[in-house]
Amino acid sequence: MTPTDAKRPLQLNDLGQLRHFLSLDGLPRELLTEILDTADSFLEVGNRSVKKVPLLRGKTVCNVFFENSTRTRTTFELAAKRLSADVITLNVSTSSTSKGETLTDTLRNLEAMAADMFVVRHAESGAAHFIAEHVCPDVAVINGGDGRHAHPTQGMLDMLTIRRHKGSFENLSVAIVGDILHSRVARSNMLALKTLGCPDIRVIGPKTLLPIGLEQYGVRLFNDMSEGLRDVDVVIMLRLQRERMQGGMLPSESEFYRLYGLSTQRLAQARPDAIVMHPGPINRGVEIESAVADGTQSVILNQVTYGIAIRMAVLSMAMSGQTAQRQLDSEEQK
């Protein structure tokens, strides 16, 4: 998927506020920073005895998961509930579409439930964008991951993790390692890092798992793990997505770990204060050594915590953007 501004008008209202959150493609740096700042303000909610704010009271958020997920689904549920929304979660992969119903028919049935927001996860790239184009105007759509295309809230929670541990992006070297070809997380991270001003974005992996055209994201490519990790501030490991692979892309998982697994010895190539990240689920002994995943430089569990705050920020901002657009439309009709 080529970075483009084509999706920008759909995602933003006439005031430039967030209306849908489908991809990081074309979103301005100011908006990404606003998402991070808003999420920062929500982090303390998780430390309260009553972990709720009333921003979405009376609103209904419908989690529509055409593809299985645990971490993303539960953090979206927690985020919506902490905003005081009513939450419905539908595992559509085991219901209507498996019986032959089209995506459009499923959408119309969901609209009939009078939800205010859909969080959509789908195995096909572009599914969330399709739903946003065809949904009724008052409903906001949030992309919880679509095919190989985008996972924008994961990208933003990774940015929040980096910012809270490293501060500004302007002087950082960040390495993204592993199965880039099949990773929607990698694409969202590359776009976010570039937009936020990171000057040195490195992509490390075997040639068979590096898609053509990565240079357009402003990244440097490495096939040698030790060379790519040298003096980086952040290491983002990716899951090896065997379920998306076709043919002999890798000789074996043990061979992948030998060449590209993050061990204590390999991590020593990075800066001494480098942080280690992973979107999960972790395959220990395939992508990362347990001593690293559980070590002092790992911020993997912090990512989960920050994910709730980012999703609270996106849900609240999109709902606010939808409300502002309705007010604008109403005033124009007068």
Taking the C-alpha atoms of residue 150 and residue 186, their distance in angstroms, rounded to an integer, is: 8
Are 139 and 115 within 8 A, CB to CB? Answer: yes
The reply, when asked if residue 71 is annotated as ligand binding, is: yes
The reply, when asked if residue 154 is annotated as ligand binding, is: yes
The reply, when asked if residue 26 is annotated as ligand binding, is: no
Are 15 and 31 within 8 A, CB to CB? Answer: no
The reply, when asked if residue 280 is annotated as ligand binding, is: yes
The reply, when asked if residue 244 is annotated as ligand binding, is: no
Amino acid found at 99: K
Taking the C-alpha atoms of residue 216 and residue 147, their distance in angstroms, rounded to an integer, is: 20
The reply, when asked if residue 305 is annotated as ligand binding, is: no
Q: What are phi and psi of 91, to 5 degrees?
A: -90, 85
Are 216 and 235 within 8 A, CB to CB? Answer: no
The reply, when asked if residue 281 is annotated as ligand binding, is: yes
Are 295 and 301 within 8 A, CB to CB? Answer: no
The reply, when asked if residue 239 is annotated as ligand binding, is: yes
Q: Closest by alpha carbon to 84, among 306, 303, 319?
A: 319
Enumerate the known binding-site residues for carbamoyl phosphate.
71-72, 121, 151, 154, 280-281
- List residues forming the annotated binding site: 71-72, 99, 121, 151, 154, 184, 239, 280-281
List the binding residues for L-aspartate: 99, 184, 239
